[in-house]
Amino acid sequence: MNIRLYNALILTMEPDSPVFAGEIWVKNDKIAYIANRDELSEQWNKLNVPRIKWDLELDCKGNLLMPGFKDAHTHSAMTFLRSFADDLPLQEWLNDKVFPMEAKLTADDIYDFTRLAILEYLTSGITSIFDMYLNPDAVAEACLDIGMRCCLVGGLNNFTSSIHQMEDEFLKWNKTGSLINYQLGFHAEYTCSKELLCGVSELAHHYKAPVYTHMSENIREVEDCKKRNGVTPVTYLDSLGVFDFGGGGFHCVHVTEQDMNLMQMRRLSVVTNPASNLKLASGIAPIAEFVKRKIPVAIGTDGPASNNCLDMFREMFLVTALSKYREDDAASMDALNVLCMATTQGARVMNQNKCDSLAVGKCADIIMIDMHQPNMQPVHNISKNLVYSGSKSNIKMTMIGGKVLYLDGHFNIGEDVEYLYKKCNAIVKRICNSTFLK
């Protein structure tokens, strides 16, 4: 398809590129042309080219086009446990509530609950997710059927999957040009035996691939690891060679000076999940210190069972506000840095470098922000408006791979969303014996 998005403000997230007025042309799944208003008029007259036949022209009416948000840590199918197991600490929440219910899920259940999550991602301007869950194939199929971009990450542990299965998934889903790619990973140090972790390390060395995992999320996790292994999770995993080719950790709330030195040396990334960490009382991650050390930081919502809300606007605000509080410094975390974490850095963590900004040849993963709502006015600084006052209500359009999947409150996914809601509630009733609905 040829799509023209015109009469827009454009924030490309390219280095040192300010917001400008102009338009973007999309051909199939890529950005074919992007220019400011004056350049466009001058070049059009100079080239004297024939008019393009547009399949779709959208007058943006002065609204903002920018790269979509990258939700860099998700467990999408956990929509089935939204508001089911709240107000509990992490280990009790996992062992007593989450794991027993997850054991009842089928691949079809995971497919449908992932699709439910995708609808919420679209309303939040999220165009790509970094998803770890029990059946990666079901997650991938749900994303492909709707058109969501997804980086799968292995969730290997002592109870599900295997080294062989993860290798098969790694080879299956890393295909050029697909909406889906795959990173090696495992659930956490505390759910994996040393033998299993050594297997992950061998796989990483074989493919020279990065590895991702939940890491140092709360104090108990760190202290239990020290009792078992004599060192912190970061140090222990590094000693096994898990991070010899890079990778990263989800959460990384409780890390030591030595941990951060290792993270720098191994070129690890951090994916912070502030809302989930607050809700589970896990703590506040030292984001300012990571940034100071040039440790890349991306942002994730975590799953809808520990966060409940898949909203990148809320996460962005919490990243900057909590850093200011933690460091006792109102200047500790600039809004533009946080916006980069939510877009550019997230894409790079997921190995989706063609989605990190708006530029010719990059993927047409574009969102439109409604600038005609009061929370976006006046316009002193658009980046700060997005981070400090933006909300999901400002998302007018979400385009992924050149397809408009959400526009002005309407989904374009080829299915009645009310039917999907009813189907998911029926599955929940079956799994939870109606306790969810009481």
SS (H, E, C) the chain: CEEEEEEEEECCCCCCCCCEEEEEEEECCEEEEEEEHHHHHHHHHHHCCCCCCCCEEEECCCCEEEECEEEEEECHHHHHHCCCCCCCCHHHHHHHHHHHHHCCCCHHHHHHHHHHHHHHHHHCCEEEEEECCCCHHHHHHHHHHHCCEEEEECCECCCCCCHHHHHHHHHHHCCCCCCEEEEEEEEEHHHCCHHHHHHHHHHHHHHCCCEEEEECCCHHHHHHHHHHHCCCHHHHHHHCCCCCCCEEEEECCCCCHHHHHHHHHCCEEEEECHHHHHHCCCCCCCHHHHHHCCCCEEECCCCCCCCCCCCHHHHHHHHHHHHHHHHCCCCCCCHHHHHHHHHHHHHHHCCCHHHCCCCCCCECCEEEECCCCHHHCCCCCHHHHHHHHCCHHHEEEEEECCEEEEECCEECCCCCHHHHHHHHHHHHHHHHCCHHHC
Q: How confident is the model at residue 46 (pLDDT cuts 50, 70, 90)?
A: low
pLDDT at 435: 46
**Contact (CB, 8 A) for 295 and 288:** no
CATH ID of 2-67+363-411, from 3.30.420.40, 2.30.40.10, 3.40.50.1970, 2.30.30.360: 2.30.40.10
pTM, entire model:
0.95
* Mean per-residue pLDDT, 95-110: 91
Matching residue, tokens 């063609």: 354
pLDDT tens for each residue of 142-175: 999 999 999 999 999 999 999 999 999 999 999 8
pLDDT over 80 (residue 123): yes
Q: How high is the pLDDT of residue 438?
A: 41
Sequence-distant (6+) residues with CB within 8 A of 73 are 130, 132, 250, 271, 273, 298, 300, 301, 302
pLDDT per residue as tens digits for the range 194-219: 999 999 999 999 999 999 999 999 99
Greatest alpha-carbon pair distance for the chain in Å reads 73
Residue 190 — pLDDT band, cuts 50, 70, 90? very high
Task: With a cut of 70, say whether residue 47 has pLDDT above it.
Answer: no
Residue 278 has pLDDT above 70, yes or no: yes
Q: In the chain, pLDDT over 70 holds for what percent of residues?
A: 96
For the segment 15-30, what is each residue's pLDDT rounded down to a tens digit?
999 999 999 999 999 9
CATH of the domain spanning 69-352 = 3.20.20.140
pLDDT, residue 35, reads 87
Give the residue range(s) of CATH 3.20.20.140 domains in the chain.
69-352
For residue 239, pLDDT over 50 is answered with yes
Residues 6+ apart with CB under 8 A from 410: none
The proportion of the chain whose per-residue pLDDT surpasses 90, expressed as a percent, equals 87
Whole-number pLDDT of residue 437: 41
Residue 51 binned pLDDT confidence (cut-offs 50, 70, 90): low
What is the average per-residue pLDDT within 241-268?
Answer: 98
137 vs 433, more confident: 137
Q: Are 398 and 122 in contact (CB under 8 A)?
A: yes
Statement: residue 249 has pLDDT above 50: yes
Q: Cα 387 vs. chain centroid, distance in angstroms?
A: 16
**Summary mean pLDDT of the chain:** 94
Whether residue 290 has pLDDT greater than 90: yes
| Cβ contact 251:268 at 8 Å | no
Does the CA dihedral 201-207-208-211 come out positive or negative? Answer: negative
| Segment 315-374, tens digit of pLDDT | 999 999 999 999 999 999 999 999 999 999 999 999 999 999 999 999 999 999 999 999
As annotated, the residues of the chain forming the CATH 2.30.40.10 domain(s) are 2-67+363-411
Confidence of residue 42 (pLDDT cuts 50, 70, 90): low
**Residue 191 contacts residue 197 (beta carbons within 8 Å):** no
Q: How far apart are CA 252 and CA 283, in angstroms?
A: 10
Tokens matching residue 246: 């890079």
Structure confidence at residue 436 (pLDDT): 41
Please check the confidence at residue 179 and state whether its pLDDT lies above 50. Answer: yes
